[in-house]
Chains A and B, each alone.
Chain A
Amino acid sequence: MQIVGELINTSRGAVHTAVDNLDAAFIQGLAAKQVEAGADYVDVNAGTFVGKEGDKLCWLVETVQARVETPLALDTPDPEALRRALAVHRGRPLINSITGETGRWETMLPVVAEAKAAVIALCLDDAGMPQSAADRLRVAGKLVRGLEGAGVSMEDIYLDPLVCPVSTDTSAALAALEAIGAMRREFPGVHAICGLSNVSYGLPKRRLLNNAFCLLAMQQGLDAVLLDPLDRSLISLIQATQTLLGKDEYCMAYIQAVRENRLT
């Protein structure tokens, strides 16, 4: 299971303030804590800085990489901001993200292809938000074929089914779960990734729903996830689930994690 730490996002007030004030210590602390907790990628997002997103994203990349060796997830829909962030990033990042929407696809694809990086592809196209698992699979097919055609290898593609809230449509979680299973069968080698917080929007005790969704999605083949790595109970559940799904030889990762007092 690959974990993308989601905390460095300027839609969170404290992060916005820190980026605004170029508070490197705050950002580096947040990055280091996520890496210590097991993040494989650290997401960086400066989306609230309209007109200055490229500058702020570059500052984030340089600031975070001055502290941690972990590659970053470059989180922007803006091809120009992405191009600049890629130029300052050391190592091989995860681009977050491309979609099948006409304008975004055409402008992002050349940047993605040139970067030789991994990329998250959201199952979204001009038809709008997908409803059913079949909708998602149709868009996933277009994305995979298009990315492959541009020279991106299957192993570098992370398909995101787009998870919608169950509060407004009780079949929403099931549609995303079915899509994850179908994607993994249909496109061998391609990863499945998603965020966890959408599913619980508008409901109480959101973590409970987020965590339950994560485990169900892992059963369907989810092998990467955007989450808060500082949530120890979630990280513990994920480790336990990996072990139960037969992805932990001799259960040694589980035993090791317990010995290191990493599980709660």
Chain B
Amino acid sequence: MLLDEIARSVSGGQAVQTSRLVEQALADGLEPGSVLNDGLMAGLTVIGERFKRNDCYIPEVLLAAKAMHAGMSLLRPLLAGGGERLRDKIVLGTVESDIHDIGKNLVGMMLEGAGYRVIDLGVNVPAGRFLAALEEHAAPVLAMSALLSTTMPRLQATIAELEKAGVRERVKVLVGGAPVTREYAQRIGADGYAPEAASAVDLVRDLLAPAPTV
């Protein structure tokens, strides 16, 4: 079936083929929403699962994300709201005075690959800019990294700024970076900690999942 083929094409990282199959699906009259969910997203889910099992590697995830983007660029004009409401927005950046962005970029690519809209503010981001972006985009997630023991305190300072501005309640805060530990993340009141880029995606998914009803 065509949607399965699209999913396989995405998980196989075939951008050109994905575009062609999406065009064909639309010409056949398939719903754009179903092409997105049962085709493109399904393919990414497969690659995400494999990545978690160490059954595939970063370049393969990047290729799959590229194939996903190729398909999305055809679908976006046809989706309600330009497709942007399909997934939650995540504000991302390294904290003020910290310009180490390899890990942060990987997290961004992984999240985009998983279908989230990533608002990447780049490096050396002061608390005020994080706050402004969270408000401007009504983003429910803030993901920050600090790679140095000297810049780690900025994670806490940024959380304090969110509290002061009264937005802490509605924003889930994720932190990461080489010297950051789970204990530290808990101590500064973050909602989650990811030791490496791949688990950041699971973490976002868990944090945004509706609370289970007891």
A binding-site residues for B, Cβ under 8 Å? 10-11, 16, 47-50, 53, 76-78, 81, 101, 103-104, 124, 126, 128-129, 164-165, 167-168, 198, 201-204
Q: What B residues does A101 contact at CB under 8 A?
A: 97, 99
CB proximity of B161 to chain A, nearest CB, Å? 19
- A129–B101 contact, CB under 8 A? yes
- B150–A202 contact, CB under 8 A? no
- A165–B58 contact, CB under 8 A? yes
- A202–B148 contact, CB under 8 A? no
Q: How many A-B residue pairs have CB under 8 A?
A: 65
* Choice from A104, A128, A165 contacting B101 with Cβ under 8 Å: A128
CB proximity of A110 to chain B, nearest CB, Å? 16
* Choice from A16, A78, A104, A202 contacting B59 with Cβ under 8 Å: A202
* Choice from A50, A104, A168, A198 contacting B179 with Cβ under 8 Å: A50
Q: Which of B52-72 contact A (CB under 8 A)?
A: 54, 57-59, 62
Main secondary structure of the interface of B (DSSP, over half): loop
**Interchain residue pairs with CB less than 8 A apart (25):** A10-B179, A11-B178, A16-B181, A47-B149, A47-B179, A50-B152, A50-B153, A53-B149, A77-B148, A77-B149, A101-B99, A103-B97, A128-B101, A128-B123, A164-B102, A165-B58, A167-B57, A167-B58, A167-B62, A168-B62, A168-B109, A198-B102, A202-B58, A203-B57, A203-B58
Q: What B residues does A53 contact at CB under 8 A?
A: 149
10 more A-B residue pairs beyond the given contacts A77-B150, A168-B58, A204-B54, with a C-beta to C-beta distance below 8 A: A16-B181, A47-B149, A50-B153, A78-B150, A129-B101, A129-B102, A167-B57, A167-B62, A168-B59, A201-B102
User: Given the complex of chains A and B, what is the CA–CA distance between A201 and B57 in angstroms?
Assistant: 10
Q: What B residues does A78 contact at CB under 8 A?
A: 149-150
Q: What B residues does A49 contact at CB under 8 A?
A: 149
Closest partner residue, chain A, to B197 (CB atom)? A202
Q: What A residues does B179 contact at CB under 8 A?
A: 10-11, 47-48, 50
Answer whether residue B100 sits at the interface, using C-beta atoms and an 8 A cutoff: yes
Q: What B residues does A50 contact at CB under 8 A?
A: 149, 152-153, 179, 184
CB proximity of B145 to chain A, nearest CB, Å? 13
Q: What B residues does A10 contact at CB under 8 A?
A: 179
Main secondary structure of the interface of A (DSSP, over half): loop
- B58–A201 contact, CB under 8 A? yes
Answer whether residue B17 sits at the interface, using C-beta atoms and an 8 A cutoff: no
CB proximity of B101 to chain A, nearest CB, Å? 6
Closest 5 CB pairs of A and B: A202-B58, A167-B58, A47-B179, A47-B149, A77-B148
Answer whether residue B106 sits at the interface, using C-beta atoms and an 8 A cutoff: yes
Q: What A residues does B178 contact at CB under 8 A?
A: 11, 47
- B57–A202 contact, CB under 8 A? yes
- A128–B99 contact, CB under 8 A? yes
User: Given the complex of chains A and B, what is the CA–CA distance between A129 and B100 in angstroms?
Assistant: 7
Closest partner residue, chain B, to A79 (CB atom)? B150
Answer whether residue B105 sits at the interface, using C-beta atoms and an 8 A cutoff: yes
- B149–A76 contact, CB under 8 A? yes
